[in-house]
Structure 1
């Protein structure tokens, strides 16, 4: 058996802290913080994957510090970009983790696994967390939402996988128990991979939100449960604290100037009307950069990990694994 990176009891302490973190984030979101419903579930999922780190990020970027202040608290661009990154991680990382848990039972090599996980993460992020859950807020049909979300989601996914891929492969090469979903080391590896993926993808999401190609952090007092716009009459009840007047808004339009309280422009990440102004060249350059990030992640995985390893196959049976000094 390989020597673990750290004692197993530390792993279970981490899982216990993760459970407490998820419980607190879920309780606070569903009782106190008026975040959009899709983002509430996104925060719960990401905290499940990142434990106390996710709780800290939530505390400083999303948790409403006092009643009626959520809109102002989440308005800074860096917090808007955090919201976009969390939304990305909730969809993409979930798809990757579910795919990794399933493909492990088929004994595929890691070199094949990682691209199936990439496809699953992209599909889950695009078709579920982006297009399905956000189409009402975007004022689009499902098909239109898929088309509008494709490029930003692809950029985000490339960056997320650029961080997750080498982390997963290197940790699983170090301890092959991490390739099997019934092992706690699998979940520890996925937790570490998600943390790295969030860090690596944040700059890309910051650029996307700044250039109004993705939404940022939101609030249900302005956008309604699940992201659907609230009627102006209902929003006016939150005068001074809301971004009202969004009824009938279509994609690319801003709220009425007469709307009560804050409008969409008051929260840079929620006004996506300027996305069309980003030139095709700039989009192409950033897309290329994310592909280079993904290529760098693959190189790290191949250089410091083993892409030929398979679940259930002893490492000494693999090419190059019978070298002197290799610890088993």
Structure 2
């Protein structure tokens, strides 16, 4: 086992442990917004200790049994909105990877392009669904169709911004960092994916700030 693979296993273990800690607490203290019960553990996988810190500092303020006053600033609320978007993207990307890998898909003889198309599509579907399950409970008068339109409007720019960061890193991994890029069957591949998710989060944050500022998306 080389040093990078060792680091990968440590990073994946820390991410998994962070997700489990958050999940155990959420089972005891469910979120007011049901979809956030899924969002927080997913964030734990790639944000690790940062997800733990933000969950216990900001996330628990929105637990059903919490009586404390919500004093979160705009930055924290946009962080949660970005977390919500990123979780949907992450789930879609994680679903897309094995589809491309096990089916041996390529596009124009490129596996990377196949990953881009399949993962973007899956991320978009999950991202819109996550947004839908956030919007619909707050605006039931809009109905499913209206809530779906609002979800597409609120999530599209945010998702594209996320994928810019993620896909950019994937290209660096594929063309610059490795002579033979790691495969999804290797721990190193998933370390690279964790980094891709973090970069996607960072590129998505300004987009979410703008969406919230313009009233296109509600701060969470």
Task: Please classify the TM superposition score into its range, dividing by the shorter chain length.
Answer: 0.7 to 0.9
SS in 1 for 2:137: helix
- Separation (CA, whole Å) in 2 of partners of 1:159 and 1:111: 18
List gaps (5 residues or longer) in structure 2.
Answer: none
Could you say which structure has the larger radius of gyration?
1
**1:33: how far off?**
6.3
Q: Which residue in the other structure is 1:117 paired with?
A: 119
- Separation (CA, whole Å) in 2 of partners of 1:7 and 1:87: 30
- Separation (CA, whole Å) in 1 of partners of 2:132 and 2:30: 24
Task: Deviation per CA, 1:127-167: give whole Å up to 9, x if none.
Answer: x2122453122222222111112122111011101110011
More helix by share: 2
**1:116: how far off?**
2.5
Confirm whether residue 79 of structure 1 aligns to residue 76 of structure 2: yes
Q: Which residue in the other structure is 1:62 paired with?
A: 59
Q: How does 1:199-210 map to 2 (within 5 A)?
A: 199-210=202-213
- Separation (CA, whole Å) in 2 of partners of 1:200 and 1:194: 10
TM-score by length of 2: 0.84
- CA RMSD of superposed structures (Å): 2.5
Confirm whether residue 129 of structure 1 aligns to residue 130 of structure 2: yes
**1:177: how far off?**
4.9
Q: Which residue in the other structure is 2:166 paired with?
A: 164
**1:55: how far off?**
1.9
- Separation (CA, whole Å) in 2 of partners of 1:143 and 1:125: 16
Task: Deviation per CA, 1:93-116: give whole Å up to 9, x if none.
Answer: 211221122112324121232123
Structure 1 residues 42 and 191, CA, compared in 2 at 3 Å: closer, same or farther? Answer: same
Structure 1 residues 111 and 189, CA, compared in 2 at 3 Å: closer, same or farther? Answer: same
**Contact persistence 2:105–2:114 (CA under 8 A):** no
TM-score by length of 1: 0.58
**1:181: how far off?**
2.5
Confirm whether residue 13 of structure 1 aligns to residue 15 of structure 2: no
**Contact persistence 2:131–2:154 (CA under 8 A):** no
Q: Which moved more, 1:84-93 or 1:133-142?
A: 133-142
Q: Which residue in the other structure is 1:97 paired with?
A: 94
List gaps (5 residues or longer) in structure 1.
Answer: 218-328
Task: Deviation per CA, 1:216-263: give whole Å up to 9, x if none.
Answer: 32xxxxxxxxxxxxxxxxxxxxxxxxxxxxxxxxxxxxxxxxxxxxxx
Confirm whether residue 182 of structure 1 aligns to residue 179 of structure 2: no
Q: How does 1:317-328 map to 2 (within 5 A)?
A: none
**1:35: how far off?**
4.2
SS in 1 for 2:17: helix
Q: Which residue in the other structure is 1:243 paired with?
A: none
**1:17: how far off?**
1.6
